Amino acid sequence: MINRRHVGTVVLLMILVFMGCMGGKEKSDLYIMEELEAASSIEITAKRIERLKIFLNNHPEHMCREFAYKKIFDTLAEDSGQPEKVMAFFDEVMGTEKDPAVRGTLYFKKFTYLWSVDSTEAVDLATSLLESDEKGFRLFVYLGFDLDYRGRHELAGEMFRKAIDVGNGSFEKSFAGMLYGEFLSGQGKEDLALELLKKSADNVFAGKQIGKILWEKGERKNAIESYINLVAGVPGERGEVKLDSLYAIVYPDNAGELDEKILESRIGHKTLLHGSRFVDTEGKYYNLSDYKGKKLVISAWSPT
């Protein structure tokens, strides 16, 4: 089973989207967020749904409409005796919503709801999505995690493969490849996993699983190199993988050189960033590749 801590990394993919919800033209955006918060906080469920639908009518293209959709869906799902209302709302939104990420969020909501009612229907939905034209990267990543957790390993693997196919750009594809490689390793398919993980080495977390597999295979120097690349990008993993102890085993006479090797491997020293697309606080999109050769400072944050 995949280490579910990687869900946190998936969430990082959402941070720049959240920025669009919180920033922008201060007065109008603040008002919109207050309107959404007020609607979401109404205790009477019928009134809550009514106000959230008013919010959606007032701001049909707002980036935070996804959260209003989710709140309505969850509110309807609380009444387990009326599944037809849940599905009617889902169908209503899907009839007009075109954004792949928003559609993916709602499909995953539907999947988890169906699982609580009838797991067979949930599996049928997940299977049908594999053959669909849905392009929501997060949808297939989340389905992969969830199905793996629920013991549906074969279908989970198919979801990770689909995530690789629909991934937009090198970051998403390498991230999905890392997840699929970790999944394969958990299924005992180490050679296949290693091959895929090496192809996904652009994602720093791939180094963790590569290092583990190589260490178990006895390729300890190569394992150390993978762990160093991992820690260079994610310093907090140094203790997690016990890099200092492993390095001392492999290089007992040069243990003091580890810090220098980590510094040399820092991502910013030698590796180009992915050609990511990001959004500013006013909802305007940019491509990182447009700034090649220029100095650029990006501040990414989450309101949570």
pLDDT band at 301 (very low <50, low <70, confident <90, very high): low
The structure tokens 């091959």 sit at 195
pLDDT per position as a tens digit, 132-185: 999 999 999 999 999 999 999 999 999 999 999 999 888 899 999 999 999 999
- Is 258 within a domain? no
* pTM score of the predicted model: 0.77
- Is 276 within a domain? no
By the 10 Å C-beta count (0-12 exposed, 13-18 middle, 19+ buried), 59 is classed as middle
Q: Is the pLDDT of residue 31 over 70?
A: yes
> 286 pairs with which residues across the strands?
278
Q: What's the pLDDT score for residue 82?
A: 78
- Is 136 within a domain? yes
pLDDT band at 264 (very low <50, low <70, confident <90, very high): confident
pLDDT band at 273 (very low <50, low <70, confident <90, very high): low
Residue 156: count other Cβ atoms within 10 Å of its Cβ.
26
What is the SS3 assignment for 135-202?
A: CCHHHHHHHHHHHHHCCCHHHHHHHHHHHHHHCCHHHHHHHHHHHHHHHHHHCCCHHHHHHHHHHCCC
Q: What's the pLDDT score for residue 12?
A: 43
What is the average pLDDT value for the chain, to the nearest integer? 85
By the 10 Å C-beta count (0-12 exposed, 13-18 middle, 19+ buried), 214 is classed as buried
Q: What mean pLDDT do residues 196-200 have? A: 93
- Tell me if 103 sits within 8 A of 65, measured CB to CB: no
pLDDT band at 4 (very low <50, low <70, confident <90, very high): low
- Is 279 within a domain? no
State the Cα–Cα distance between residues 286 and 280, nearest whole angstrom: 8
Percent of the chain with pLDDT over 90: 63
Q: Is the pLDDT of residue 91 over 50?
A: yes
- Is 187 within a domain? yes
- Is 243 within a domain? no
For residue 40, the enclosing domain spans 4-210
- pLDDT, greater one: 219 or 6: 219
Q: What's the pLDDT score for residue 165?
A: 95
Amino acid found at 180: Y
Q: What's the pLDDT score for residue 25?
A: 45
DSSP three-state, residue 225 = helix
Query: Helix count (H) and strand count (E) of the chain?
Result: 18, 2
Q: Is the pLDDT of residue 27 over 50?
A: no
Residue 38's CATH number: 1.25.40
Closest CA to 2 of 122, 173, 143: 143
Q: What mean pLDDT do residues 4-11 have? A: 51
Q: What is the dihedral of CA 74, 95, 129, 164, to 10 degrees?
A: -90
Q: Is the pLDDT of residue 219 over 50?
A: yes
- Token pair, residue 132, equals 């669909």
State the Cα–Cα distance between residues 72 and 50, nearest whole angstrom: 9
- Is 167 within a domain? yes
The structure tokens 């990770």 sit at 160
pLDDT per position as a tens digit, 99-129: 999 999 999 999 999 999 899 999 999 999 9
- Token pair, residue 146, equals 């969830």
pLDDT per position as a tens digit, 55-75: 999 888 888 899 999 999 999
> 287 pairs with which residues across the strands?
277
- Is 219 within a domain? no
The structure tokens 């989450």 sit at 302
Q: In the chain, how many domains are there?
A: 1
